[in-house]
Structure 1
Amino acid sequence: MHPHANAPRASLKRRLATLIYDALVALAIYMAVGALFFALFGILVTNGMVDTLGQEHAVDVLQHSAFWTLVNELFKLTGVMAFFCYFWQKSGQTIGMRAWRLKLQNTDGSLISWQQGVVRTLTSAFGLMTLTMLLSSDKRALHDKWSHSEMVELTLEQNRARMGS
Structure 2
Amino acid sequence: MSAEFPRASFWRRFASLVYDTLAIIAFAMLSVVLYLFAVQGLISLEVISLNGAEDVSALIQNSLLLSGLRSTLLVVVALVFFGYFWTKSGQTIGMRAWRLKVQTRDGKLISWSQAVIRSVTALLGLGNLVVLVDFKNKRALQDYLSKTEVVALTKEENKRIYRSLD
Q: Taking structure 1 as the reference length, what is the TM-score of the superposition?
A: 0.91
Unaligned runs of 5+ in 1: none
Structure 1 letter corresponding to 2:124: F
Counting aligned pairs with the same residue, the percent is 41
Residue range with higher mean Cα deviation, 11-20 or 127-136: 127-136
Aligned counterparts of 2:25 and 2:137: Cα–Cα separation in 1? 31
Give the counterpart of 2:113 among 112, 115, 137: 115
Give the counterpart of 1:133 among 123, 131, 134: 131
Are the counterparts in 2 of residues 5 and 107 from structure 1 also a CA contact under 8 Å? Answer: no
Q: What pairs with 1:1-165 in structure 2 (closer than 5 Å)?
A: 6-55=4-53, 57-136=55-134, 137-165=136-164
Aligned counterparts of 1:109 and 1:55: Cα–Cα separation in 2? 53
Unaligned runs of 5+ in 2: none
SS in structure 2 opposite 1:152? strand
Q: Taking structure 2 as the reference length, what is the TM-score of the superposition?
A: 0.91
Residue range with higher mean Cα deviation, 4-13 or 39-48: 4-13
1:27 Cα deviation after fit: 0.8
Aligned counterparts of 1:40 and 1:135: Cα–Cα separation in 2? 46
1:6 Cα deviation after fit: 3.0
Aligned counterparts of 2:66 and 2:36: Cα–Cα separation in 1? 10
SS in structure 2 opposite 1:108? coil
